[in-house]
Amino acid sequence: MMLDDLSLFVAIVEAGSLAAAAEGLDLPAATVTRRLQALERALGYKLLNRSARRMQLTAEGAQYYEQCRPLIHALRQATQRLDATLGAISGNIRVTAPVHLAQGYFRDAWSGFLHTWPEVTLEVELSNDLVDVVGSGADLAIRVGEQQDSSLNQKLLASTDLMLVAAPAYLARAGVPHTPAELETHARIVGRPLTRWKLRNRADDTEVVLQGAPRFQANQMDLALSMALDGLGIMLCPGTMGRQHLASGALTVVLPGWSTEQRHIYALWSQQRYLPARVRALLDYLSAFTGAHPL
């Protein structure tokens, strides 16, 4: 027995005729008749006596209507309240994001969004681990790199380059490498997950991959960057973090004739959950923010 057919029966009684109900529901009259007949067959008794000129409830139909009507009306009211809640740009949003992106590139996005939507509260969890989006209850996750999890929707927000950098003091002490092979003799600083360095020669597209034991590594990119700034080695650094230090002279680009991989930044959310309007608003805001602040 379909709940839609119960609602249809109540609508027929309240409209006064099958034709009026069909018009009010924007359904073909034949469809209304067929669904009413299917409901009567499922119940095992007739609900309405009907002819070309009039319609009258049977005794069973009258009893059934009195029992169903308050339930259907209560369900409609609950649905209307839920629609209003889901459609409101208010309530709490939980986001998980990598530490350096959440604190750095997206910092102004969080405050800008909260200024735009004063009825929203925002809870941002900073983690470089791959947090279970579904299990953690997060509404959105910001991740670097395309995700293979088919249970997640994903939207590309931005792309950023990587750069090989070192402090001038380190290069003065250890020498300036001119080829990727020379990097083997240098101290490497790794901020995970950038353990694998893939370099491409801009002149002839030759590719080299470096993946040796670093002198220092951390799962927090800011800490790794601080080691590079202190002159302890060469680092593969996200452009979002390195550019300001290049501009100030605190860091220098190493192997400028070689390019590195681009990193793509995605917003992800569960396919199993309806996306409320407040979360959709944040997704749209982040998309507009990255469009206005290209990396």
Distance of CA 81 to the CA centre of its chain: 25
pLDDT at 1 over 60: no
Q: Identify which has the larger pLDDT, 266 or 104.
A: 266
Percentage of the chain beyond pLDDT 70 is: 92
Give 239-283 pLDDT, tens digit per residue. 878 888 999 999 999 999 998 888 889 999 987 667 888 999 999
Claim: this prediction has a pTM higher than 0.75: no
- Assign 87 a pLDDT band (cuts: 50, 70, 90): low
Give 137-184 pLDDT, tens digit per residue. 789 999 887 777 777 888 999 988 889 999 999 999 999 999 998 998
Residues 6+ apart with CB under 8 A from 81: none
Contact 58, 45 (CB under 8 A): yes
Q: Which residues face 165 on adjacent strands? A: 235, 253
The SS3 of residue 96 is strand
Q: In what order do the strands lie in the sheet with 207-210?
A: 207-210, 197-201, 258-260
Angle at 98 between CA 92 and CA 104, to 5 degrees: 90
- Residue 283 CA to residue 225 CA, distance in Å, equals 29
Contact 197, 260 (CB under 8 A): yes
Angle at 182 between CA 169 and CA 145, to 5 degrees: 85
Angle at 222 between CA 220 and CA 225, to 5 degrees: 115
* CA-to-CA dists, residue 41 to 1, 5, 6, 27, 61, angstroms: 10, 12, 13, 21, 13
